[in-house]
Amino acid sequence: MARTIAAGALLALGMAAGLAVVSWTGSGDTDAGDGEGRVTIVYEDDAIAPQDRRAVDALRKSGVLEKTADWVNTSVALPHDLVVKVTGKVPPGVTDAVTQPDGRTIYIPPRFLTQVQEVAGDVAKSVKRPALFPADKFNADDLAALSTRFIFGHELGHALQRQLQLPNLGLEEDAADGFASFHTVNEAGPDPSLAAAMIFDAIARAEGELTLEGLSSDHPVTQQRVFNFLCYLDGSDPKKFDGPLVGDGYLPKTRAPLCPQAWAMLDHGWWTQLQPHLREGFKAQGDQRQKEARARLIAETKAFEEKLDRIRTGR
Ligand SMILES: [Zn+2]
């Protein structure tokens, strides 16, 4: 299958971020905490190879990076500027979208966008469209843009964790995936999660057998990430998504009952983490969202407790 060509180089998907060594410059950092940091998207046109131009143009036209940047600029008081560079001029060894350890620069290599676009084209051609995913977006450009929105959400999750020095109770990579779900499900609906699930599923198939390297990665294995994306989406509105996701066989029945509480935890977790860092103009709305998320977590945990015996014995 031609699928291996594009997916091969995508396997790392952020693995090259150098996550093992996260260090802050610390002392002498006088602008820390001023809350005036902005996210800007920069397309370095002179550092985009001709063969990657099409993928970059399609992404730019979609405006997905800008939409996400706007949300941060409206909602979160960043201590430092965050520059998102779509550029071929990347640090040595960078092949995927990556966030620098200080959370102030995200690199998105044009070659990476071409690879996403190629996998997206392959998915549009060879995968049966899930009924939940809109027919008019089931094409290479839209699938690439939507999954890039999700992937950018992941990188932004890293940037927020690092700039705000958020307390983390698990692996940073899981939290970054969690932010991608939290942000896109709340702000853009189901399409980015679904597109990312289809792209990552294609990548997982191309990866083939699990290797020691894959299992020891700081990321969950790729196929597992697919189910995590679908689980959070399902849990965000099970009445709406159980039919097309669980009924149609995309999310296993064994996992689905755990998802409403998992989503409630994630939603409450991110709103609570972001709450002390909300911009003045967004504070009232953000506080309200946090309060609702907390009420929902309490309700979902209670509901989960009530059906737990049935879930355990029904497996
Ligand atoms: Zn990552």
Distances (CA, A) of 218 to 14, 65, 115: 10, 25, 22
Contacts of 300 (CB under 8 A, 6+ apart): 260, 261, 263, 264
DSSP 2-31: THHHHHHHHTTTTGGG-TT------TT-TT
- Which residues hold their Cβ within 5 A of ligand 1, which is an ion? 14, 173, 176
Q: Which residues of 85-97 are buried (b: 16+ CB within 10 A; e: fewer)?
A: bbbbebeeebbbb
Look-up of token digits 């560079």:
85
Predicted confidence at residue 159, as pLDDT, reads 98
Predicted confidence at residue 163, as pLDDT, reads 97
Q: How far is the CA of 98 from the centre of ligand 1 (A)?
A: 7
Q: How far is the CA of 153 from the centre of ligand 1 (A)?
A: 10
Q: How far is the CA of 12 from the centre of ligand 1 (A)?
A: 9
Q: How far is the CA of 63 from the centre of ligand 1 (A)?
A: 22
Q: How far is the CA of 224 from the centre of ligand 1 (A)?
A: 15
Q: How far is the CA of 93 from the centre of ligand 1 (A)?
A: 15
Q: How far is the CA of 188 from the centre of ligand 1 (A)?
A: 21
Q: How far is the CA of 15 from the centre of ligand 1 (A)?
A: 6
Question: What's the burial of 31, exposed, middle or buried (CB within 10 Å: 0-12/13-18/19+)?
Answer: exposed
Q: How far is the CA of 228 from the centre of ligand 1 (A)?
A: 15
Predicted confidence at residue 25, as pLDDT, reads 41
Mark the ranges of the chain whose per-residue pLDDT is less than 50.
1-9, 11-30
Look-up of token digits 């109770």:
169
Q: How far is the CA of 173 from the centre of ligand 1 (A)?
A: 5
Q: How far is the CA of 310 from the centre of ligand 1 (A)?
A: 36
Q: SS3 letters for 126-172?
A: HCCCCCCCCHHHCCHHHHHHHHHHHHHHHHHHHHHHHHCCCCCCCCH
Q: How far is the CA of 97 from the centre of ligand 1 (A)?
A: 8
Strand partners, 99: 106
Q: How far is the CA of 96 from the centre of ligand 1 (A)?
A: 10
Q: pTM of the prediction?
A: 0.89
Q: How far is the CA of 4 from the centre of ligand 1 (A)?
A: 22
Q: How far is the CA of 303 from the centre of ligand 1 (A)?
A: 32
Q: SS3 letters for 44-96?
A: CHHHCCHHHHHHHHHHHHHCHHHHHHHHHHHHECECCCEEEEECCCCCCCCCC
